[in-house]
Amino acid sequence: MPDLEKLSLKKLSQEIKSRENKPQAAGLQRFFKTGPGQYGAGDRFLGLKVPLQRLLARKYRDLPLSDIEKLLRGEFHEFRLIGLLILVEQYEKAADRGKKKELVDFYLAHTAHINNWDLVDLSVYKILGDFLVSDRKALAVLKKLAGSQNMWERRMAIVATYAFLKNGEAEKTLVIAKQLLADKHDLIHKAVGWMLREMGKRVSQKTLTDFLDQNRQRLPRTTLRYAIERLSPRERADYLAKIV
């Protein structure tokens, strides 16, 4: 019989708080831009490193969705990340598509609490992206997220396409990247560039350079710099020279 106390949300909360590292928390709050007016304004950290959070997520991976919801609503960043990592664990171990859909629906119902770039990047392609690879409505779901007023949902849209890229498919990345080229936020520019770079690596470099050539006048410089990281020095210099 499992130790129910060991697996409880109360016990997990105690374990998280017992590992508080105030100096590291202060550094994380600067790194994740939590000051007034910044993208992570108001977020609070306890200072746990990600490998430790992964260990805790594996240990408590059988928590029910009701407890994961409480983690996602937690006041500290680490509670939300651990909640998402548990959700990833459960999704990857789900025995059938019905259970996976339940977890995807839960994920989409709680995007308001997936509110920093690491929370998005460590979860969205492993849950939503993976599920959409075999869903005929995938593009509609991604385009809706890409059109959201919520910046984190827009980032979800493009990073979710990583699952398609890992499967050798570029179409979804191309469509969502193009939709987001006019976005004003640097974190979206970076995410789009990251996925374009991965497209060049995992699908084909020609698919990448064709996209860059076709959209040369619309590319934010940050997006371009990320996208061309794997090109030759000469190619990088050529692209950068033609962007104002």
DSSP-based helix, strand, coil % in the chain, nearest 5: 65, 0, 35
pLDDT-derived band of residue 7, with 50, 70 and 90 as boundaries? confident
* pLDDT confidence of residue 3: 53
- What is the distance in angstroms between the CA of the first residue and the CA of the last residue of the chain? 65
Q: Which CATH topology does 1-114 take?
A: Leucine-rich Repeat Variant (1.25.10)
- SS3 assignment for 96-112: CHHHHHHHHHHHHHCHH
Cα separations (Å) of 226 from 27, 209, 219, 240? 25, 13, 11, 11
Given a cut of 90, whether residue 103 has pLDDT beyond it is yes
Listed by start position, the domains of the chain span 1-114, 123-244
CATH architecture of 123-244: Alpha Horseshoe (1.25)
Rounded CA gap, 122 and 178, in Å? Answer: 23
Give residue-wise pLDDT tens across range 165-190: 999 999 999 999 999 999 999 999 99
Q: Tell me whether domains 1-114 and 123-244 share a fold.
A: yes
Query: Above pLDDT 70, what percent of the chain?
Result: 97
φ/ψ of residue 56, rounded to 5: -65, -40
pLDDT-derived band of residue 4, with 50, 70 and 90 as boundaries? very low
* pLDDT confidence of residue 242: 78
Give residue-wise pLDDT tens across range 47-91: 999 999 999 999 999 999 999 999 999 999 999 999 999 999 999
Read off the tokens for 103.
């977890």
Rounded CA gap, 196 and 202, in Å? Answer: 10
